[in-house]
Amino acid sequence: MRFRDWLQLFRAQTAPATILLILTPYLTNAALFSLETAAIFIFALLIHWVSFGHNSLMDTAMGYDLADPSKSHHPLVAERISMPAAHNVIHWSFCGLAVFTILLSLMVSPNPLYAIVAIFLWWVFGYAYNS
């Protein structure tokens, strides 16, 4: 189990799309070089990794990736990362990110309640899609 395998599981190469999706509207009225922007950047990166990792986990667990010959090199299919390890890392990361999301919303948003509701709806619909 290598770090590269985890990055592949998390589809790390596509993280810039999520980061730009979140930071572009935020930066229309915020400073680029600030602690708040750095925190949102880190949030976007981590939420991308965990949610795309969850998608990979569920696609393998449901058998879709196992039946697809073009996915034979993926770390879960090739068993370079075990299903229990992926399950633990991804689901406990969701728990940690939930707390981070609440704290970030309380510290950065001018309207934390709407921010938390919007983020968790985004999160739940993504989780439901993956599952």
Q: Are 61 and 83 in contact (CB under 8 A)?
A: yes
pLDDT at res. 93: 97
Tens of pLDDT, residue by residue over 13-33, are: 999 999 999 999 999 988 999
d(CA 127, CA 54): 8
Percent of the chain with pLDDT over 90: 92
Tens of pLDDT, residue by residue over 58-94, are: 999 999 999 999 999 999 999 999 999 999 999 999 9
pLDDT bracket for residue 103 (50, 70, 90): very high
Residues in Cβ contact with 38 at an 8 Å cutoff, skipping those fewer than 6 apart: none
Average model confidence (pLDDT) for the chain? 94
CA distances from 125 to 39, 60, 120, 121, 131 (A): 23, 20, 8, 6, 10
